[in-house]
A and B are shown apart, each in its own frame.
Chain A
Amino acid sequence: MTTVFQVIVIGLLLGLIYTLIGAGLTIVLGVLRIVNLAQGILVVIGSFFAFDLFTQWGIDPILAVLIIIPVFFLIGGLAEITLIRRAASDSPDRAMLVLFGLLMLAEAVATIAWTTDSRSIGVGYANGSLTVGGVVIPEAYLIMAGVAVVVLGATELMLYRTLLGKALRAVGQNRQSAEILGINSARMATIVFGLGTALAGVAGAALGVLFPFSIQLDSQWLAYSFIVVLIGGLGGIRSSLVGGLALGLGQAICSQVLPLDVVPVVLYGALAAALVARGGGIGLARERRI
């Protein structure tokens, strides 16, 4: 019984962090219809950022998040203004291709800057744990899930409790009507892109504390963010939460009952099976935009 609780707790904590990866993709896809293929590499760069801040200046990843958010927001916003906007006005697929190119560029630059070596962030709480009624909760998971909750909560509040959030959602629902109502949709696009990039950066910092990382992880994180979107749909932070928690729990359960190297097969395979079973079920999710 303790094992069951153990698996559930780990799965949920991990799921909150996976929600972060998926939320960035969901927001950009939901509002702008653009698939951000660079999501995975942004997560990895977030990890490296947190690593450098920790090793060079001794900044704890919890505080590093406060630096990562504005920096990544700027990177995403600038990319949108200079490269993605014009392509997106042609078609969302063309913007996806530009992002694909940026993914390759970022991968090459990151390889030059950080090499392909595997690293881990050795924070003080990395190996500590709490025991509650027999269930062992690693401190790092707890702290990083807490960071995820705060960031996700702030994003949710921004989207649903502020005028800016209302404007962003309006652009997602109907861009032309939003423009008629006086919303500067180009600026909203920049903000959405910056927001998605910042969420990826935070996810990177959190994952960097939990697992060793290297640049090659980018396609795994991209796949995970796709899974979150495919399960949860495009309903904003709340639907990302559904997808993220499902992925976290699924992974934790699989890791418990299956040999370790089979876990990715089952995860990707279950995704494929879900697609076949629902037969275009994502098409339904697509209608429920932010």
Chain B
Amino acid sequence: MPLPTASRWSRSGLLARRRVVERAGWASLVVVVGLLVAFGLTTGQLGTLRIATTALMYVVLTEAWSVLGGYGGYLNFGMAMFFGVGAYTTAIVAKEASIPPLETVVAAGVVAGLLAVAVGLPSLRLRGAYFAIVTFVLTLAVQQLVMVLGITNGSLGLYLQPLALSARAADQLYFFIFLGFALLVALGVRQIGRSRFGAALVAIREDEDAAEVLGVPTTRVKLIAFVVAAVLAGMVGCLYAAQLYYIEPVGTFQFSVSLNVVVAAIVGGAQSWVGPLLGASATQVLSQELLTHTQGVDGTLALGGLLVIFARFVPGGIAGFFRRRRGTKVSL
């Protein structure tokens, strides 16, 4: 939580300055969204459009992650699990009920959310690093389970019905879906940050025992934050499966989904809703560009390097860096 420190400015001057910065921030958000809409409507470069879509997908995932991970300080390495479960729910429900994949988005979110309740109830009693370990191991467990189950067709994977649209129209559709989704989730996370619930999470991050003593129902608050992240990740998984119309266990549950989210959150700064926007776009555009141009592991190399640098030298991420420049102090 940002604490005002002795600053060069008087309190009223600081507030006025902050208002200016805030207005500039909103204005630039509107401009960026406007540019993205124009780009999505007019572009002919489908490759770039897909990179932008992936970046927006990671904006949603990272914003969702930041509720528990940023406000609450609990590192969740299991986003890939909920993402994959959402994707598989979509594939299975769409096939069994013969409905278009996009209409299963609620089912995907619900199943991922239920899994989060089942996983979160025992594991959220664990503190700090142990929670991270459990989410990591469970991701592997679910992936292995999908490999051997009949309904998921094992390692062969499942096919979905593609939309009856041209490649360009479909890419544009998913771009706008993810753009809208990202905006909604980002603003939702902003609201959470200003709510009692957000304050409870920050209290847990700062000192969980003290929060408990002061009457914060810590386990319930953490569980809700965990389920929010899972539901959103499940819905993203649904959209991913619908867009790709083929899913298989290794690609869908790849640990790199969890990994990209964590890197994006740390690079952007997970303590405010702005950080994930910046972090996810920056890291994804960078790694996707490297991937398309060099065909190698340079993406991993760049992300790993960024993570080491930011975790070691820039504790608040990009967003925290600017906030500190404005005369407030950030911790963690």
| Interface residues of A, Cβ cutoff 8 Å to B | 29, 33-35, 83, 86-87, 90-94, 96-98, 100-109, 111-112, 219-220, 222-223, 226-227, 229-230, 261-262, 264-265, 268-269, 271-272, 275-276, 279-280, 282-283, 286
Q: Quick one: given A219-B140, A271-B141, are A91 and B332 in contact (CB under 8 Å)?
A: yes
Judge whether B129 and A101 touch: CB under 8 Å. no
Q: Which of B132, B141, B332 has the most CB of A within 10 A?
A: B141
Q: Which of B118-174 contact A (CB under 8 A)?
A: 119, 122-123, 125-130, 132-134, 136-138, 140-141, 144-145, 147-148
Smallest distance from the beta carbon of B251 to chain A beta carbons, Å? 13
Judge whether A98 and B301 touch: CB under 8 Å. no
3 nearest A-B pairs in the assembled complex, by CB-CB distance: A104-B304, A101-B307, A268-B141
7 A–B contact pairs at CB < 8 A?
A: A91-B332, A92-B128, A101-B307, A101-B309, A226-B137, A227-B137, A268-B137
Q: Say yes or no: is B73 at the interface (Cβ < 8 Å to chain A).
A: yes
CA distance A263 to B20 in the complex (A): 59
CA distance A83 to B122 in the complex (A): 33
Residue of B nearest to A269 (CB): B141
Judge whether B311 and A97 touch: CB under 8 Å. yes
Smallest distance from the beta carbon of A281 to chain B beta carbons, Å? 10
- The majority secondary structure among interface residues of chain A is helix
Q: Say yes or no: is B306 at the interface (Cβ < 8 Å to chain A).
A: yes
Judge whether B301 and A223 touch: CB under 8 Å. no
CA distance A104 to B144 in the complex (A): 22
Q: Say yes or no: is B328 at the interface (Cβ < 8 Å to chain A).
A: no
Judge whether B140 and A86 touch: CB under 8 Å. no
| Interface residues of B, Cβ cutoff 8 Å to A | 73, 75, 119, 122-123, 125-130, 132-134, 136-138, 140-141, 144-145, 147-148, 255, 259, 262-263, 266, 296-298, 300-301, 303-309, 311-312, 315, 332
Judge whether B308 and A265 touch: CB under 8 Å. no
Judge whether B140 and A223 touch: CB under 8 Å. yes
Q: Quick one: given A87-B312, A101-B307, A280-B122, are A96 and B141 in contact (CB under 8 Å)?
A: no
Judge whether A275 and B123 touch: CB under 8 Å. yes
Judge whether B137 and A271 touch: CB under 8 Å. yes
Q: Which of B133, B147, B266 is A97 in contact with, Cβ under 8 Å?
A: B266
CA distance A104 to B308 in the complex (A): 9
Smallest distance from the beta carbon of B1 to chain A beta carbons, Å? 15
Other A-B pairs, 9, CB within 8 Å; known A83-B312, A265-B144, A286-B130: A90-B332, A100-B262, A101-B305, A109-B301, A112-B297, A227-B137, A264-B144, A272-B141, A282-B126
Q: Which of A91, A97, A219, A229 is B262 in contact with, Cβ under 8 Å?
A: A97
Smallest distance from the beta carbon of B321 to chain A beta carbons, Å? 15
Q: Which of A91, A105, A262, A276 has the most CB of B within 10 A?
A: A105
Q: Quick one: given A101-B304, A103-B304, A105-B305, are A230 and B311 in contact (CB under 8 Å)?
A: no
Q: Which of B122, B129, B301, B306 is A29 in contact with, Cβ under 8 Å?
A: B129
Judge whether B123 and A262 touch: CB under 8 Å. no
CA distance A279 to B123 in the complex (A): 8
- For B134, list chain A residues within 8 Å (CB): 272, 275
Judge whether A96 and B138 touch: CB under 8 Å. no
CA distance A93 to B205 in the complex (A): 12
Smallest distance from the beta carbon of A241 to chain B beta carbons, Å? 20
Q: Quick one: given A83-B312, A97-B262, are A268 and B144 in contact (CB under 8 Å)?
A: yes
- For B296, list chain A residues within 8 Å (CB): 112
Smallest distance from the beta carbon of B114 to chain A beta carbons, Å? 15
CA distance A33 to B130 in the complex (A): 10
- For B307, list chain A residues within 8 Å (CB): 97-98, 100-101, 104
- For A103, list chain B residues within 8 Å (CB): 304
CA distance A286 to B125 in the complex (A): 13
Smallest distance from the beta carbon of B189 to chain A beta carbons, Å? 20
Residue of B nearest to A96 (CB): B129
Residue of A nearest to B147 (CB): A261
Smallest distance from the beta carbon of B90 to chain A beta carbons, Å? 22
Judge whether A90 and B315 touch: CB under 8 Å. yes
- For B303, list chain A residues within 8 Å (CB): 101, 104
Judge whether B301 and A108 touch: CB under 8 Å. yes
- For A87, list chain B residues within 8 Å (CB): 311-312
Residue of A nearest to B142 (CB): A268
Smallest distance from the beta carbon of A66 to chain B beta carbons, Å? 30
Smallest distance from the beta carbon of B116 to chain A beta carbons, Å? 14
CA distance A229 to B136 in the complex (A): 14
Judge whether A93 and B75 touch: CB under 8 Å. yes
Judge whether A283 and B125 touch: CB under 8 Å. yes
CA distance A126 to B306 in the complex (A): 42
Residue of A nearest to B138 (CB): A272
Q: Quick one: given A29-B129, A94-B332, A111-B297, are A272 and B311 in contact (CB under 8 Å)?
A: no
CA distance A272 to B123 in the complex (A): 9
Judge whether A226 and B136 touch: CB under 8 Å. yes
Judge whether B122 and A276 touch: CB under 8 Å. yes
Q: Which of A96, A104, A220, A280 is B126 in contact with, Cβ under 8 Å?
A: A280
Judge whether B123 and A96 touch: CB under 8 Å. no
- For A227, list chain B residues within 8 Å (CB): 137
Residue of A nearest to B311 (CB): A97
Residue of A nearest to B250 (CB): A216
Judge whether B148 and A261 touch: CB under 8 Å. yes
CA distance A144 to B148 in the complex (A): 32
Judge whether A93 and B122 touch: CB under 8 Å. no
Q: Which of A35, A105, A107, A108 is B132 in contact with, Cβ under 8 Å?
A: A35
Residue of A nearest to B302 (CB): A108
Q: Quick one: given A87-B312, A93-B128, A109-B301, are A268 and B259 in contact (CB under 8 Å)?
A: no
